[in-house]
Every structure is written in structure tokens, then in C-alpha cells.
Amino acid sequence: MDNNTLHADVVVIGFGKGGKIAAATLGRLGRRVVLIERSDQMYGGTCPNVGCVPTKALVHHSGNRRPDDSPQEWFEHAVGQVQALTSLFRAGNYDALNGADTITVITGAAAFVDSHTVAVGKGADRITVTAETILINTGSAPVIAGIPGLADSSRLVTNVDLIKNTTLPGRLAVIGGGYLGIEFASIYHRFGSRVTVFETSARILGREDDDVAAAAEQILTDEGVDIVPGSTVLEVRDGANETTVVYEKNGRQHTLVVDAVLAATGRAPVTDGLDLEKAGIRTTPRGAIEVDEYLRTSQPHVFALGDVNGGPQFTYISLDDSRIVLDQLTGEGKRTTTDRVAVPATLFMTPPLATIGLTEKQARAAGHRITLARQNVADIVAMPRAYIVEETRGLMKFVIDADTDQILGAALLSVDAQELINTVALAMRHGITASELRDSIYTHPSSTEAFNDVIGAVIHTDDPLDV
């Protein structure tokens, strides 16, 4: 075997959350692991480099800006702090794996040669790696909508570009009113940008119930974010010093002049350049790698973890994917994606919106008889923490099965919602009833004790005997 050929027990393509956890675990068990990452700026994956960590750090810094602080200076300082943090995490991720005796990290673009072989690089620098098992963890990338002029605009930015730019855009257009668009709209408005959000649907956050979405929209508009629902962006035209967004609303054309345009219309699995066809690995019509409930691809020894397999695009799902794959490789092989229930999600606007399970609309559509419990945060007597930290905006809403008292879903738009939702998730997974969650003992003053009041604040029941 020549110096440019390696053999490993396991090859991991992509340094994302699931891949690195699997690589580290298998390495500790004595497996020979080669982890391949095409960019030296992505050790650790999306979350610590261009996703969760930098964006949530920017949420923190944007909230600390005082009225007299220069928006540009404060933003530049914040981006510098965030870049230092991501550099620290990136180096730590690399050292933790490459420093292990059983793990080798190779930086370069990987492509399949056959179902057991991948190649990295070209020419004299080409390295060929063979393995019995291969894990694909290449993540996802922003989708640029096919709007005339958008892809070619010099002022187009993705979420990745935006968080690396030290110049605060004075005027920012956000195309897309989903989680990503709203999160960035909130962040950059609080830094001092004039933000306009374009959403094709009649309202933002289309997956949420009307009352929850309306409460979130009211918070944003009260702060000064311009939201244009029911609008279609028709064209993006660059000028010498600014860009014009042409859009239609109510049958009429309008224009908006901005300094940057954020495309927030979704993310797609990254499979380009992998040459999956050479390995006989199938993809879905939407471009994700096709997997079964054990995350096996059409080649049983090749697994796909994280965003690339088309599942929910969350770091914690990628982590759980690693548990499923590791159970296949080192355990009993019983864990599957069907085991996952009550998976929460959080939109980090200010205050955050955290959700789980079924919305009211979904619960009714599924045929459940339901009880609804809802309160505005400002009215929750048992939540003095909201007043202590001066954040009383938002609401809490629970959807409860009227027959079993099980929690079917919840939406928490409040301070600490990103933490509270994990308690609700645990209750749902283990069959804790809404009444038990309501009557539990919580520390004081805390946000969790709001459950004592909110779950008792019934606003609707499908059982006429309970009215």
C-alpha cells in the first residue's frame, strides 16, 4: 500500500455534530477512523462555526447595545467577539479528534470512488481511503431562490455571509419569514439595521397557530421591524451604491432600496461533488441521501447523518443520529428514527419562541378532542422572573388531549423559553400529564413556575361538561 492510500475501519465525511460524536466514540473504542472535512473553517460543523453558536452570540450582543452606542462600532466589536469564540471552538474540535491516536483528520473535498473507497484531492496530493463503514455528515447549505437578479447581486448575503461581515447593513431586506429569516431580522434590527421582511404567505411563521404567529409579529413590529406579508419579490436590481428590491403586494408593484439582501428561503442537503452514484447511493427527489429508519443508505455499510439525510435540520437531531448509527455499529442495533418523539425547536428572536408537538390546528386535524390553556406572559402571576428581567412580552400556550390529559403540544414565546421547552419535552416523552406538570413544585422566582398558572388557564375545551 503506497503512502497516498489509507485503510480505516470507519471513514466519516463531514465534521458535523453527528459525525464528530461518532468518530470520537469509535476512536475511543479502538476503531481506526479517518474524518474528512473539506474546509478548515468548518471543523466542528455548522453549529459552532456559522450556525447556532455565532448567531446566538449575536443575539446576546445585540441585546446589550445601549442607545448611545454607535451601531456600526458595536456591531464590529460584536462580530470580532463572535469570531474569536468560533475560532476557539473550531480549534478545540480539531484538536480533540486529530489528537487521538486512532483518529486522523484530513482536510479536503471527498468523493466516492466506489462503495468502500473515497478520494480526497487530486493529482500528486490525492489521498485514497478505504473503509468497511462510511458515514456521510456533510450537512446543508442555503438555498437561493430563483428570483431574477438575486443570485448575481453583489449585495446578496446568506446567513453564513452575514455573520462574517463586520459592516452593519444600514438597510437589510430579508426574503423569507420563517425561522431563519425572523431570527436574523430580530438580531440585525437590534444592532441598528432598518430591516424589512418579505413573506409570500399571509403571515410569518406559517407553521404556527395564528395567535402565536400574531404575537411574535406584534413583538417584531413594535420594535420597528417592517414585515410585508403576502408579498412576492419579483426582481433584485443592483445599482452603484445600493440595491433595489422590486416586489408585488395586493396586485401592485413596489420598490425598496437596501444595502444588503438576505436569502432566507431554506437550506438543502450538501451532496455536490460526492459522486454518490459511483457508490450506488440513492438520493430522494429533494436531493437528500435516501436512508431507512436506521440511517442506512442504499448501501447498508454507508450511513447518512444530520441535514444531508433530509431529516429535521437541527444540531441535536444530528447528535441523535449519531446514537442511532453507533447502536448499529457497537450496540444492539435497536435504535431507530421512529423512537424520536416530542422534539422541540426554538426560534431565537427576543424573547425566544420555543415549540413542540402539535399545534392547535394540527391537533384538531388529527381528530383530537382538546383543551387549550393560554396566557399572556404579562398576566402570569406565578412568573415574577419576567418582571425581574423586564421581559414581559409574549405568551404561553398548551394543547392538551381532553380525554387523556396528555400534552399534545406547546408554544412558549417568553423569556427562557429555550430552556422551558425541554421540561415540556421530557414530560411529553414520559407521559407526564398536564395536571402533573401544572401541580409540580418549581423553584422561585423562576420561569418554570409559570406552568403552575398557565396550564390552569383554560380558554377552551371540547368537553361541554368542563365549560
Classify residue 155 by its DSSP letter: T
CA distances (Å), origin 44, targets 12, 19, 40, 140 = 13, 9, 10, 14
Nearest to 228 by CA among 195, 258, 256, 198: 198
Q: What is the pLDDT of residue 465?
A: 42
pLDDT (tens digit per residue) in 321-359:
999 999 999 999 999 999 999 999 999 999 999 999 999
In the beta sheet, which residues pair with residue 131?
Answer: 8
The mean predicted confidence, pLDDT, of the chain is 93
Q: What is the pLDDT of residue 463?
A: 64
pLDDT (tens digit per residue) in 244-274:
999 999 999 999 999 999 999 989 999 999 9
State the Cα angle at 347 between 462 and 407, rounded to 5°. 25
Helix ranges restricted to H, 194-245: 210-223
Distance CA 138, CA 271 (A): 7
Query: What homologous superfamily is domain 5-141+268-339 in, according to CATH?
Result: FAD/NAD(P)-binding domain (3.50.50.60)
Q: What is the pLDDT of residue 3?
A: 60
Are 5-141+268-339 and 156-265 in the same CATH fold?
yes
Q: Computed from CA positions of residues 436, 439, 440, 443, in that sequence, does the dihedral angle turn out positive or negative?
A: positive
Q: Is the pLDDT of residue 381 over 70?
A: yes
Q: What is the pLDDT of residue 466?
A: 42
Active site residue 301: no
Which residue is catalytic, options 61, 77, 301, 444? 444
Question: Percent of the chain beyond pLDDT 90?
Answer: 82
**CATH architecture assignment, domain 345-466:** 2-Layer Sandwich (3.30)
Strands (DSSP E) contained in 272-393 are: 302-304, 345-347, 353-357, 370-376
Give the 3-state DSSP-derived string for 368-401, with helices as H, strands as E and coil as C.
Answer: CCEEEEEEEHHHCCCCHHHHHCCCCCCEEEEEEE
Query: Could you identify the residue written with the cell 423562576?
Result: 446
Instruction: Give me the residue spans of the domains in the chain.
Output: 5-141+268-339, 156-265, 345-466
CA atoms within 13 A on the CB side of 410: 31
Q: What is the pLDDT of residue 40?
A: 86
CATH of 156-265, one of 3.50.50.60, 3.40.190.290, 3.40.1160.10, 3.30.70.270: 3.50.50.60
pTM for the full predicted model: 0.92
